[in-house]
Amino acid sequence: MEQLKVTLLQAYLFWENAAKNLQNISLKLSDIRERTDLIVLPEMFNTGFTMNAVENAEKMDGKTVSWMRDTAKKFNAVITGSLIIEENSNFYNRMVWMRPDGSYETYDKKHLFGLAEEDKTYTAGHKQVVVELKGWKIRLAICYDLRFPVWLRNHQEQYDLLLVVANWPERRAQHWRMLIPARAIENQAFIIALNRVGYDGKQIYYSGDTTCLSPAGDVIYYKRDEEDLYTFSMNKAEVERVRAEMPFLKDADDFNLI
């Protein structure tokens, strides 16, 4: 069965400074010494989680998406993370899935974080997005989405890997650490939940706690409090094994989102 090699960057983000963030991330990624299929960056990786959308938004043909295209080509790997995109006079917290050939998919964050008034600044997406890579079906999600199991439900074995990018503050880290295994176990899928580290411009601290779990909820990777670049492999046969030994998904309730 096809293995997927993934590189995670739990990064410190410089507040509202895209040039410095792209420079720092490029420097960190230069330490990649092995072939990888997928590079994952945090939510709003070029600015930090800011509501100053007007000052920090870019277009899809802007410098950060162009940097993603160049970086994907350089490493011959998909690169993904979210950034602020302006489109048709609306602002989106948009996850971009950039392929080495320059083609891409996008996911606009569905659940906007009301406590930070994200819902007053950004426009919510309404489309669930599953992308494919090396035979893997990968569901895209952003931060607050993690709290909503119906939205992320692996309906009819829709995906093999749930990929969540985040700016999740340390003050709610206990929730983060509890929700991640719940999503893995209930959906019988690998989960990668990548967070940032350090203080933002509002002096909110992010402890990282980036986590990867198997479909059975076993820990593959966990890192707290520091920047870290980590590459590892996942075997798709593990998904099929868990679902065959514990065929819970077939007993799940059928439903439609409205």
Residues with catalytic roles: 43, 109, 143
Answer yes or no: are the C-beta atoms of 149 and 117 closer than 8 Å: no
30 vs 14: CA distance, rounded Å: 19
Token pair for 141:
């999600």
Range list of H helices, 108-169: 118-121, 149-152
Asked if residues 48 and 86 have their Cβ atoms less than 8 Å apart, the reply is: no
H-run or E-run covering 239: helix 236-245
Cα–Cα distance, 3 to 1 (Å, whole number): 6
User: Nearest-5° angle of CA 168, CA 142, CA 62?
Assistant: 105
CA–CA dist 144, 191 (Å, integer): 15
CB 168 within 8 A of CB 176: yes
